[in-house]
Structure 1
Amino acid sequence: MNIALPRPAHRHTNLICGLFILACCTFLSACTSTKSLTPQQAAAPRNLQENLQLNGRISIRYQQDQQDQSVTVNYEWQQTPTELHISLSSSFGQTVANIHQTPISASLEQAKQETRYATDIEQLLIDSLGWSIPINDLKIWLQGFDLQPNKIAVAIPAQDDFQLNSKGWQLRFVKWQEDARQVRPKRIDLEKMTEQFGLVKIGIIIM
């Protein structure tokens, strides 16, 4: 959403704006400072993990009522073969939502609101938060794999800026990293044209 900001009235406003810009630059610098993988790291065999714990940041840009919208949240991702827990929080550490998925249902909790339930976790996010992310596909994309039509998970080449189309999404694996001897993406950008939200752009940082 485009918002016209009033002209700063005193030096305190200028200081706040300066600190905000500095914080944004620091975050972007941290996200792009990871060294590229060595040829040996990039070529090393990888296995899809059944149990996964990740955290990082998600930014989403979309349209609502013909107005541009943007959301940025921190996330904690805990995945097992049968369950998924996602905790979303603001940049100030305030909990935005707690999401839980099992093979038969999904639930979403927000402060001072009743827990919502649904069978479709992505629709549950839309109904509760007004936006969504492709959670079921991210279970393997976050690990650097893609699911083929025959349901076989195939490792995505661990190359910076590698692009592919999957499930209607244009994916760009901007950066890769090695963490505890596990090679996985550092940053993934996703883009998709939708009827409901126009052009949706999602950026995911994995810490």
Structure 2
Amino acid sequence: MNIAPLRPQNNYRSLVYGLCLMIYCALLSACSSTKPLTPQQAAMPRNLQENVQWNGRISLRYQEDQKEQSVTLNYDWQQTPSELHISLSSALGQTVAKLHQTPSSASLEQAKQETRYASNIEQLLVDHLGWSIPIDDLKTWLQGFDLQANKSAVAIPAQDNFQFQSKGWQLRFVNWQEDAGQIRPKRIDLEKMTEQFGLVKIAIIIM
């Protein structure tokens, strides 16, 4: 019996489907494999760190031209008191963008394109990638803190699925993890209704 080879179009569709399935399973695995914190862990004292380095995945859904758009990227996050470096890459490891923020400016680097500049990263993302995330607030949210109007950082309760609103975003801290004696979020879901992109939904996995 002869079996006809797959057409290129079918191969492409199979590849795309496989990649989407891998990303979806990875996001589910990151959530389901994390055990709930014990009462002792949840009660551990926490301090906002000035220097952090993380990586993980970010999945974003938004509306554009009356169609739902989605993107899932890997990220590397390096934060100091004065600077922030973020590298975004595809599921296959290809660098999509590099962002750098200082107290006075921000820059965006993409392959075969001139470096762009703006006053902050969020504006750069909107102007050149078509979507944005609350970068300044994530500096504290990723550590399990919320920055108040008086600039004081308040610890968010280390409870699975704890929800609250801040800066126009609805946040849900899906689950938490202990890492080298520090308690911090494992997954954060964010939602915000925007005029330009409709309902923006973001899921952030922190490794």
TM-score by length of structure 2 reads 0.90
Distance 1:127 1:164, change over 3 A: same
8 Å Cα contact 2:101-2:120 kept in structure 1: no
How far has the Cα of 1:26 moved from its partner?
3.4
Q: Secondary structure at the match of 1:137?
A: helix
Question: Matched residues in 2 for 1:13 and 1:112: separation?
Answer: 25
How far has the Cα of 1:151 moved from its partner?
1.2
Percent sequence identity over matched residues? 73
8 Å Cα contact 2:51-2:81 kept in structure 1: yes
Q: Secondary structure at the match of 2:108?
A: strand
Question: Matched residues in 2 for 1:145 and 1:30: separation?
Answer: 25
Question: Matched residues in 2 for 1:136 and 1:185: separation?
Answer: 17
How far has the Cα of 1:29 moved from its partner?
3.7
1:166 is aligned to 2:166: yes
Gap regions ≥5 residues in structure 1: 1-7
Q: For residue 92 of structure 1, what is the aligned residue in structure 2? A: 92
Deviations along 1:49-99, whole A, 9 cap, x unmatched? 000101000011011122211111000000000000000000000000000
**1:13-52 → structure 2 map (5 Å cutoff):** 16=15, 19-20=18-19, 23-24=22-23, 26-32=25-31, 33-52=33-52
Aligned pairs, how many?
Answer: 200
Q: For residue 116 of structure 1, what is the aligned residue in structure 2? A: 116
Distance 1:165 1:111, change over 3 A: same
How far has the Cα of 1:104 moved from its partner?
0.2
Q: For residue 102 of structure 1, what is the aligned residue in structure 2? A: 102
TM-score by length of structure 1 reads 0.90
Amino acid at match of 1:115: T
Q: Secondary structure at the match of 2:45?
A: coil
Amino acid at match of 1:54: W
How far has the Cα of 1:105 moved from its partner?
0.2
Question: Matched residues in 2 for 1:144 and 1:198: separation?
Answer: 27
Gap regions ≥5 residues in structure 2: 1-5
Deviates most, 25-34 or 101-110: 25-34
Q: Secondary structure at the match of 2:46?
A: coil
Distance 1:21 1:192, change over 3 A: closer
Distance 1:24 1:90, change over 3 A: closer
Amino acid at match of 2:116: R
Question: Matched residues in 2 for 1:51 and 1:161: separation?
Answer: 26
Q: For residue 71 of structure 2, what is the aligned residue in structure 1? A: 71
Question: Matched residues in 2 for 1:22 and 1:146: separation?
Answer: 33
Question: Matched residues in 2 for 1:117 and 1:14: separation?
Answer: 37
1:80 is aligned to 2:68: no
Amino acid at match of 2:105: S
Question: Matched residues in 2 for 1:18 and 1:91: separation?
Answer: 13
Question: Matched residues in 1 for 2:155 and 2:200: separation?
Answer: 25
